[in-house]
Amino acid sequence: MQVERYERYWMWAATGMLVLFTGAIVATALAGSVHPPSHVETVDPETLTVTGEFVSPGVMTAPDGRITVVMRAEFYVFRPTVVRIPAGRPVRFRITSPDVLHGFQIVGTNVNLTVAPGYVSEVTTTFDTPGEYLVVCNEYCGLAHHLMQGTVIVEAAP
Ligand code: CUA
């Protein structure tokens, strides 16, 4: 079978791009821990502000020392607005929304959750570098979307 020279070039170029893009997915998954979300857990958005763990969001430390940050993303604030956690220890974030779709992105890290009403989004991460991290909502949620932000303060271990 005779294949035109330019067609052959383009076939190799397309194959090269496939290899490159697949390699980029594998590389970011291995080096940057960038994975698709796998946590599915539902919650009733109409009652979560009157009953259950999301009534009083905040940082909880279990008797065995595990840290969980329970949060709500809602018009147009993260509750709690400021989260204080220690560096060098795994922290589990559990976050949901009582109203519309929001985002939860900790700038400068690979923490980036979609917060959908009816679902609990969860991620566990360890902050190695103490400091103040900006949290932004990266899903358009209404007129004051651009004002919706929070802070994660990572404190150096004593
Ligand atoms: Cu919340 Cu945008």
Q: Which atom of ligand 1 is nearest to the CA of 141?
A: 2
Q: State mean pLDDT over 7-20.
A: 97
Q: Is there an atom of ligand 1 within 6 Å of 74 CB? A: no
pLDDT band at residue 127 under the 50/70/90 scheme: very high
Q: Which amino acid is at 48?
A: L
Verify whether ligand 1 is closer than 6 Å to residue 139 (CB atom): yes
Please tell me if the CB atom of residue 115 comes closer than 6 angstroms to any atom of ligand 1: no
Q: What percent of the chain has pLDDT over 90?
A: 87
**pLDDT for the residue 157:** 74
pTM above 0.95, yes or no: no
| CA–CA dist 144, 148 (Å, integer) | 7
Beta bridge partners of 106: 135
Give the model confidence (pLDDT) of 32-75 as tens digits: 777 777 778 999 999 999 999 999 999 999 999 899 999 999 99
CA of 139 to the centre of ligand 1 (A): 5
Can you tell me the distance from the alpha carbon of 154 to that of 158, in angstroms, rounded to the nearest whole number? 12
